Structure 1
Amino acid sequence: MKLENSMQPTLKRTLQTRDLVIYGLVFMIPMAPAAMYGTFLGPAGGMVALCYLIGMVAMFFTGMSYRSMSQKYPLAGSVYVYVQKGVSAPLGFLTGWAILLDYFLLPATVVIIGSSFANALIPSIPVWIWAIGFVLLSTTINIIGIDLMSKCSWILFALQIIVILAFLACIIRLWLNGLVQFNTISFYNPAQFNMSGVLQATGIVILSYLGFDAISTLAEESIKPEKSIGKAIIWSIIIIGIIFMVITFFAGIAYPNYEELNVDTAFIDIVNFVGGTWLTVLTNITLILSFGIATCQASQAAVARVLFAMGRDGVLPKQLGHISEKYQTPDVATIFVGLVTVPIALFCSLGFITTLVSFGALVGFILLNGAVIWKFFIQDNESKKDGKTLLKFLICPLIGLAVTVWIFINLGAAAHTIGLVWLGAGLMYLLTVTKGFRNPVPQMEMS
């Protein structure tokens, strides 16, 4: 498969499947439950691990749709490219436009969280200095090269795993000494079991899995992307799901009386209970590095590559499609993302951003699952004659479609309102670019 402009500068291919898996895991943040655990406890009746299990299974089916599309279209741009090539260029643009909302807000979200943890640890340094510092560091590393970002991801992922293992070891020590009792409350709490509440909490928990999409944005920097992208997406969903379940399962063992915990500091309170000051400080430092550096880098890299793909096509300003000759990275798009992230992180509240951050991703997932059905099942009539392809191109994407539609419907009113305004703005922009669809939507043709 060749691109017509293959003589132009290209992104540097250095990433193997294992690098992509680590990138996806860092994006989804193995220690994410530490920041959000208290939010899940009430609605789930303490059964947070069960919510993560349901979420993992649900996202697996959308991950299968990504795998199908990445094998057919191994290009940067994620769902923008997949829907564009699989269905139509206008719908592809709107899909890319939708997920840009999610991607623009996510770097700001993790910068806000990382800066707040950093300011709590060192109050003498203002939050705004931390925020600007995180964005500058992330922008620099992303411009220098995806291989450097990958190495940083490996280091910061290892640090998170060390802290998680220390947390588990402390709980096991307490258990062996008879100070805590084994229980399964995180998976099944008969006294508080309410499936409606579990599903409500799952709708929040599932946001922790949304980062797997970012793996697909690195297709043009991956070795053998036709195989590695899809494989990395599936493995990252399964591995992060297991990590989330293990963390929350042991948290339930350590502190089954979850009603006594403060919603805002629930997990840190448990860490302090099982490990004391040293583990609490280590956990806080790791959360700062995880949110402020690791995930900031990963999310900035992802949105820069969606912008790069749309700029290269010409549907957004072509300057965004520029590639650094020295580093072979999308430098203009990366700097642009940094410039947008800083004011959002400084002037928007975390509560406001988090109500919106999942809108674009869910719209992208819905359209992607529909695109797989359209491209491989409806257009390709041979798929109906094969049981394996029936499962792969109809049943799996239908399940993924149903789950994402259900979550989308249950988003807050503010998310729907602002998200639809964002989509409306994208549609108006598209009408302007195409002169009311009298001209075709710009896109890079494949031959």
Structure 2
Amino acid sequence: MSEAGGGAVADPGGGSGEPGGGPGPGAEPEAVRRALDAVWRIESVRIVATLAKVTGELPLAEDLAQEAVAEALDRWPASGVPANPGAWLTAVAKRRAIDHWRRRERLDDRHRMLAHELEESAEPEWVPIPDDVLRLVFTACHPVLAREAQVALTLRVVAGLSSEEIARLFLVPVATVQQRIVRAKKTLGAAKVPFESPDPAEWPMRLSAVLGVVYLVFTEGYSATSGERWMRPELADEALRLGRTLAALLPREPEVHGLVALMELQASRFAARTARDGSPVTLDDQDRRLWDRAQIERGRVALARCDALGRGRAAYALQAAIAECHAIAPSVQQTDWERIVVLYEALGRLAPNPVVELNRAVAVSMAVGPASALRIVDRLADEGSLRGSALLPSVRGELLSRLGRDEEARAEFATAEGLTGNEVQRRALRAKRERLG
């Protein structure tokens, strides 16, 4: 098994395809592998979550899933891809689980009960968190792990992100991410952390980490860090589904509603964010008639629920309020940029972050002008906190271009082009640079 647990099949950001209906008997091994890659990208999280629920051990669940994948690679070229490949992989992994326990000669009462449940496909009548994937998130966010380890493990297991993608999200070396993931799995194993719903009394101490990783999954779906696609809507959809489930479980937690509001409002623009050829469409060029007005309304209702609890707006709710300003504006020019600047200032005081400050600079450029914004960006560049990220040179290039400093802007776009791991974004930056030329 690879260190990342589930990365042995394919980089989850590449390729395309849907499970089922794949190559038939006698297919070429490469065709079978491509079909299996597509199945794994779509089904892996639920397969691992199901296995973790019935085995009670996350590392074991990942090992079993990988064993099932290896068996598929061996058998599918001769037998063909089954009609329901996800169910096939899950069934094989469940049989491997029973074999695993028997080999270890540890069929104590608990394992006998689990084996019986596997064979009978019995489901519990009620669990506090009635969602296997969300339960997986709560398990990975166990307080026995450091916050960095919680996030890295959850993004790897739940979002299926590669170590390289997680490293780009946090601007850290790939080796650092790999070490965090390996260490997190060993820690969970050493602590004998069971895969089960934590008691509701334990939810508050895990909630901040859970919300954080759910939003990071959404962020990767909103703007992919690597691969051939500008967005990965399936990741954003799964994050939004998890957020809605959390809101139903914890209706008195304002930040849960704030996060749901933020994701709803951001997702409402998805249809307008890419052109037909897959290239990105910036906010000022988007056809606002394509924005999902029903989803905008759902986002505003969620933000109102947050406010109705009377405990003030925290980080996600403030970001949702910014997204709401964009969602209700008839155009970029008619957007309330002054209010957005104020909201970013509040967010920066509440949750200081260089990316928040960079976004504030963009808002300042619209409200006041690019020269004022450039001073903010130059200060961030001097601090070096966004070194290695394509965000800062990309924004700086835009500001310099608006100021007529084309040669400097071209240099910044070239720098950003070299730093991004997303091929679609790289082409967009190259086009901006060439237009200035």
Shorter-chain TM range is under 0.3
Q: Whose radius of gyration is greater, 1 or 2?
A: 2
Higher RCO (CA-CA < 8 Å; seq separation 6+): 1
TM-score (normalised: structure 2): 0.24
